[in-house]
Amino acid sequence: MTGHMFIQTTMVVCMHVVGLAMLLATWRLLRGPTVPDRILALDTLSVTAIAELMLFGMYLNSAVYFEAALIIAMLGFGSTVVLSKFVLRRDIVE
Protein backbone atom coordinates (compact mmCIF):
# COMPACT_ATOMS: atom_id res chain seq x y z
CA MET A 1 0.00 0.00 0.00
CA THR A 2 1.57 3.25 -1.08
CA GLY A 3 1.27 6.43 0.92
CA HIS A 4 -0.88 8.11 -1.71
CA MET A 5 -3.38 5.26 -1.68
CA PHE A 6 -3.35 5.29 2.13
CA ILE A 7 -4.33 8.93 2.42
CA GLN A 8 -6.86 8.65 -0.43
CA THR A 9 -8.54 5.76 1.43
CA THR A 10 -8.58 7.84 4.61
CA MET A 11 -10.28 10.66 2.72
CA VAL A 12 -12.96 8.31 1.36
CA VAL A 13 -13.64 6.95 4.85
CA CYS A 14 -13.83 10.50 6.23
CA MET A 15 -16.23 11.53 3.46
CA HIS A 16 -18.53 8.64 4.38
CA VAL A 17 -18.41 9.56 8.07
CA VAL A 18 -19.19 13.22 7.34
CA GLY A 19 -22.00 12.13 5.01
CA LEU A 20 -23.46 10.10 7.88
CA ALA A 21 -23.27 13.21 10.07
CA MET A 22 -25.11 15.18 7.35
CA LEU A 23 -27.82 12.50 7.27
CA LEU A 24 -28.25 12.73 11.06
CA ALA A 25 -28.52 16.53 10.83
CA THR A 26 -31.09 16.16 8.04
CA TRP A 27 -33.11 13.81 10.26
CA ARG A 28 -33.16 16.46 13.00
CA LEU A 29 -34.07 19.10 10.42
CA LEU A 30 -37.09 17.10 9.24
CA ARG A 31 -38.24 15.90 12.66
CA GLY A 32 -37.19 18.75 14.98
CA PRO A 33 -40.01 19.47 17.41
CA THR A 34 -39.34 23.19 17.66
CA VAL A 35 -38.23 25.90 15.27
CA PRO A 36 -34.79 26.53 16.93
CA ASP A 37 -34.08 22.81 16.47
CA ARG A 38 -34.50 23.21 12.74
CA ILE A 39 -32.31 26.31 12.71
CA LEU A 40 -29.63 24.41 14.61
CA ALA A 41 -29.90 21.49 12.18
CA LEU A 42 -29.49 23.88 9.23
CA ASP A 43 -26.40 25.40 10.87
CA THR A 44 -24.95 21.92 11.46
CA LEU A 45 -25.70 20.98 7.87
CA SER A 46 -23.78 23.99 6.55
CA VAL A 47 -20.82 23.25 8.82
CA THR A 48 -20.68 19.59 7.79
CA ALA A 49 -21.11 20.57 4.13
CA ILE A 50 -17.95 22.69 4.47
CA ALA A 51 -16.02 19.68 5.77
CA GLU A 52 -17.40 17.44 3.03
CA LEU A 53 -16.48 19.93 0.31
CA MET A 54 -12.94 20.36 1.63
CA LEU A 55 -12.46 16.58 1.80
CA PHE A 56 -13.77 16.25 -1.76
CA GLY A 57 -11.41 19.00 -2.91
CA MET A 58 -8.50 17.20 -1.28
CA TYR A 59 -9.59 13.91 -2.87
CA LEU A 60 -9.76 15.39 -6.36
CA ASN A 61 -6.70 17.62 -5.66
CA SER A 62 -8.49 20.70 -6.98
CA ALA A 63 -8.93 24.17 -5.48
CA VAL A 64 -12.39 24.79 -6.97
CA TYR A 65 -14.24 23.62 -3.87
CA PHE A 66 -12.56 26.16 -1.59
CA GLU A 67 -14.70 29.02 -2.94
CA ALA A 68 -17.87 26.97 -2.57
CA ALA A 69 -16.97 26.13 1.03
CA LEU A 70 -16.23 29.78 1.82
CA ILE A 71 -19.57 30.89 0.37
CA ILE A 72 -21.42 28.17 2.31
CA ALA A 73 -19.68 29.29 5.52
CA MET A 74 -20.70 32.93 5.05
CA LEU A 75 -24.26 32.22 3.92
CA GLY A 76 -24.72 29.64 6.68
CA PHE A 77 -23.79 32.15 9.35
CA GLY A 78 -25.98 34.84 7.78
CA SER A 79 -28.99 32.55 7.46
CA THR A 80 -28.63 31.34 11.05
CA VAL A 81 -28.54 34.87 12.40
CA VAL A 82 -31.46 36.01 10.22
CA LEU A 83 -33.64 33.01 11.09
CA SER A 84 -32.94 33.42 14.82
CA LYS A 85 -33.73 37.12 14.54
CA PHE A 86 -37.01 36.27 12.83
CA VAL A 87 -37.97 33.83 15.60
CA LEU A 88 -36.94 36.37 18.21
CA ARG A 89 -38.70 39.48 16.91
CA ARG A 90 -41.04 38.22 14.12
CA ASP A 91 -39.32 40.78 11.93
CA ILE A 92 -35.98 40.87 10.12
CA VAL A 93 -35.46 44.47 9.03
CA GLU A 94 -36.67 46.78 11.77
Partner 1 sequence: MITFIQIVLSILLLFGCFFILVGALGLVKLSTFFKRLHAPTKASTLGVGCVLVGSVCYHIFLGEDPQPRELLITVFLFITAPISAHMMAKAALSLLMETRPELPGHKTAKEEQLPPPEPRRDDADADDAKAPISRDSQ
Residues of the shown chain interacting with partner 1 in the complex, contacts defined by CB under 8 A? 1-3, 6-7, 10-11, 13-14, 17-18, 20-22, 24-25, 27-28, 34-37, 39-41, 43-44, 47-48, 50-51, 54-55, 57-58, 61, 63, 66, 69-70, 73-74, 77, 80-81, 83-85, 87-88
CA gap 84, 88 in Å, rounded? 6
How many other C-beta atoms are found inside a 10 Å radius of the C-beta of residue 71? 12
Minimum CB separation of residue 94 from partner 1 in Å reads 15
CA gap 24, 32 in Å, rounded? 11
